[in-house]
Amino acid sequence: MGVARIGGSVRSGEAVLSGLSLCVNGSVYAIAADPATPLVYVLRNELGMTGTKFGCGLEQCGACAVLVDGASVLSCNVPAGQLAGRDIVTIEADGDSLLDAVGAAFVAAGAAQCGYCIPGMVIAVAGLLRADPRPGEEAIRAALQPHLCRCGTHARVLRAVHALSSDGGARP
């Protein structure tokens, strides 16, 4: 296993130097890993991006969510090799104004206790707001439905999302 950072953007026709070539947070990485490896393991174990959490491994908890081409995707069962050429964004993304706005709203609402579920929730909310800056109650609950929180922060998470939605200004 190993990883090499190739450059700052996806280039069509770019040579794949090893098992995988992935664009994560705006950088392209060549990764010596089996393309069948679930994305969450590649992010955490090969790229050191441990902000994406592993919970159930069965698409049942939402802890492993990342953005793929702007939409929230659970990374624990998707083979990383299927995401070549796609734009993957994790909670570590620098300078992502939407992720920053969602994170700030969570902080303002006190929407974290142990914090384990929070990166996945922030990603889910960012994906929702990217598609619809003013989502209604039904859309908000649908976006958060895959995300479990053992600490019971759901009410505060909803408060944070409603603040962003009524603000409508979270979208860059």
Summarize as ranges the residues that interact with ligand FES (CB under 6 A).
Answer: 54-57, 59-64, 74, 76, 112-118, 149-151, 153
Which residue, 11 or 150, has its beta carbon nearer to ligand FES?
A: 150
Which residue, 115 or 136, has its beta carbon nearer to ligand FES?
A: 115
Write down the least CB distance from residue 86 to ligand FES, Å.
18
Write down the least CB distance from residue 95 to ligand FES, Å.
25
Q: Which residues contact 67 (CB under 8 A, 6 or more apart)?
A: 73, 87, 88, 89, 90, 123, 126, 127, 130
Which residue, 18 or 77, has its beta carbon nearer to ligand FES?
A: 77
Write down the least CB distance from residue 55 to ligand FES, Å.
4
Write down the least CB distance from residue 78 to ligand FES, Å.
9
d(CA 105, CA 157): 9
Which residue, 26 or 146, has its beta carbon nearer to ligand FES?
A: 146
Write down the least CB distance from residue 65 to ligand FES, Å.
7
Burial (CB < 10 A; 0-12, 13-18, 19+), residue 140, is buried
Which residue, 50 or 113, has its beta carbon nearer to ligand FES?
A: 113
Dihedral (CA of 167, 52, 107, 117) sign: positive
Q: Please say whether the beta carbons of 98 and 161 come within 8 A.
A: no
85: left (phi over 0), alpha (psi -120 to 50) or beta: left
